[in-house]
Amino acid sequence: MDARDSPIRERIRQKTEVLIDRIEFIEHHLSDAVLSDRILRKALYKEFQEAMEAVTDICALIRRTLHSSAQDDYANLDYLVGKEIIAPETGRDMKTANGLRNRLVHEYDGVNDRIAYDAMQRLMPSLSRFSGEVLTWLNTDRMRS
């Protein structure tokens, strides 16, 4: 491992810890109550937004570690899939999750809370899988270096 990569790799680990923390919070609080409790719903939407911001930051940092310039969120996910850092299914699901994040943040055409809730439930395992695949890559790459 190149000495100058160490701070970047540490930052990837930190961002992954943030992601795991957000996942755990969401999974602990995600229930049908989201549909009737505005405060809970907004809190979970914010946690999901922060989880996806961690994902996109991780992708950009990994590209930097591999001496490749970061691009847009979707191209960065494709890059990680191409480098076999994350599985194609994970990449696809992270694109879907990023789209949900964008809808929640920008409220494009309003947000259907039932659809958002169902999507969050469906995407939580993929967010966990992403963090696991990134940590596996970090640990495997460290052993090779």
Alpha helices in 1-145 (DSSP H): 6-29, 38-65, 73-82, 88-106, 113-144
Torsion (CA) 9, 141, 74, 64 in degrees, nearest 10: 40
Longest dimension (CA), the chain: 51
Separation CA 21–CA 13 (nearest Å): 12
Q: Residue 100 in contact with residue 121, Cβ under 8 Å?
A: no
Which pLDDT band holds residue 132 (cuts at 50, 70, 90)? very high
Summarize pLDDT for 67-117 with one digit per residue, the tens: 999 899 999 999 999 999 999 999 999 999 999 999 998 876 678 999 999
Separation CA 89–CA 96 (nearest Å): 11
Structure token pair of residue 113: 């809370």
Structural domain boundaries in the chain: 3-140
The helix-helix angle for 88-106 and 113-144 (nearest 10°) equals: 130
Query: Hey, what CATH topology would domain 3-140 get?
Result: Four Helix Bundle (Hemerythrin (Met), subunit A) (1.20.120)
Rounded to two decimals, the pTM is 0.91
Summarize pLDDT for 3-44 with one digit per residue, the tens: 445 899 999 999 999 999 999 999 999 999 999 999 999 999
